[in-house]
Structure 1
């Protein structure tokens, strides 16, 4: 027998049914807390707070920290500070050089993400790491801004450029760099701003059939 009035909503009736069925709702409050949420539920909580830089390979502690900082990150998303925060997560020695800081000056609304090989170990910039950096920076940067991922090879006084609009890959051996062409990036779907479109689970990019 229901105690709800005739004009009760479907939600109210559903809640009454759930309460009468004896379902344990004691964990509902902990499910929205990244510190107490069950590890298996972390991806769902990350989706709920719209994390755009989620990595399934993170440790559980890293996932909980990313969720805890999500609201603060959204407040600065689209700024240099947001991009630097993403880079610091990969390596604090990765730097940003905006167009007006370059010599000669670059194109307005562009910037470079720079990795100095003399400061960053060679094994750090694997193909997967370089692609992850490009992906996460693309999610944090201002929409109108475009960028290049630049590896400086000071010993040879040369630069290796990988387009930020397309998730390039980098390799380095014997102070040399090559571009991985194993993937046909012309098949990757892009937004109107030229950014690659991720799949629903965020682990790859959508391609044309």
Structure 2
């Protein structure tokens, strides 16, 4: 700060000039008041104080920073609709528990009068006991006095898509014979004979003759044990 920019008299003391120089830079000091009052820009360490200023009913220091900001951001709208099914749903969604409130006359069959149920859907995994307890606290804080919670239904949804896969196999071909006479190419003489008898092929005569000769020779080749 130069002497031409000051309103101090020429006989001002050194202390007075130092104070004037410090005050001249006060406008350069950042004062992010708007940021502090904005839930999405407020420093994380000041969020509990901002939640107190917004009169947030449910607060947990173990929440992530994103959930804390969302709870504060939804505080005014939740309080505006407090005592309605929509207010309960907004309060639960703000703490990371998206749910659907179903009143007794919306159920099939009808539930007990002046009761409601809460349907919560989870992705892949369910909820812990602490989260269920928190859910009940939030519901009781934001429901109307007349209505009573009849139950909580939790649905766990698992999503997945098609997964292509392949497998390689190796093996050998094996041929099992039942002892029926066969030609050199592997064709069974009995199958050939039956096929010819059914279809009336003239070429089966030779096969039948060969098969008859083989069958006639088989008894002479049998060996009967003498010790039986």
1:126 aligns with 2:128: yes
Q: In structure 1, which of residues 38, 43, 50 is the aligned counterpart of residue 43 of structure 2?
A: 38
Greater share of residues in helix: 2
Query: Do the aligned partners of residues 125 and 149 (structure 1) sit closer, same or farther apart at CA in structure 2, a change above 3 Å counting?
Result: farther
Q: What residue in structure 2 maps to residue 83 of structure 1?
A: 88
Q: What residue in structure 2 maps to residue 143 of structure 1?
A: 145
Q: Contact 2:84–2:144 (CA<8 Å) still a contact in 1? A: yes
Query: Do the aligned partners of residues 75 and 152 (structure 1) sit closer, same or farther apart at CA in structure 2, a change above 3 Å counting?
Result: closer
Higher-RCO chain (CA-CA 8 Å, sequence separation at least 6): 1
Count how many residue pairs are aligned between Structure 1 and Structure 2: 128
SS in 2 for 1:53: coil
Question: RMSD of aligned C-alpha atoms?
Answer: 3.0
Deviations 1:123-166 (A, max 9, x none): 4122111111111111221122210333379xxxxxxxxxxxxx
Greater share of residues in strand: 1
Q: In structure 2, which of residues 48, 56, 60 is the aligned counterpart of residue 51 of structure 1?
A: 56
SS in 2 for 1:129: helix
| TM-score when normalising by structure 1 | 0.51
1:108 aligns with 2:113: yes
Question: How many angstroms apart in 1 are the aligned matches of 2:70 and 2:152?
Answer: 29
Q: Contact 2:105–2:111 (CA<8 Å) still a contact in 1? A: yes
| TM-score when normalising by structure 2 | 0.47
Gaps of at least 5 residues in structure 1 are 1-18, 154-209
Q: How does 1:166-205 map to 2 (within 5 A)?
A: none
Q: What residue in structure 2 maps to residue 204 of structure 1?
A: none
SS in 2 for 1:100: helix
Question: How many angstroms apart in 2 are the aligned matches of 1:121 and 1:70?
Answer: 25
SS in 2 for 1:71: helix
Larger CA Rg, structure 1 vs 2: 2
Q: In structure 1, which of residues 63, 66, 74 is the aligned counterpart of residue 68 of structure 2?
A: 63
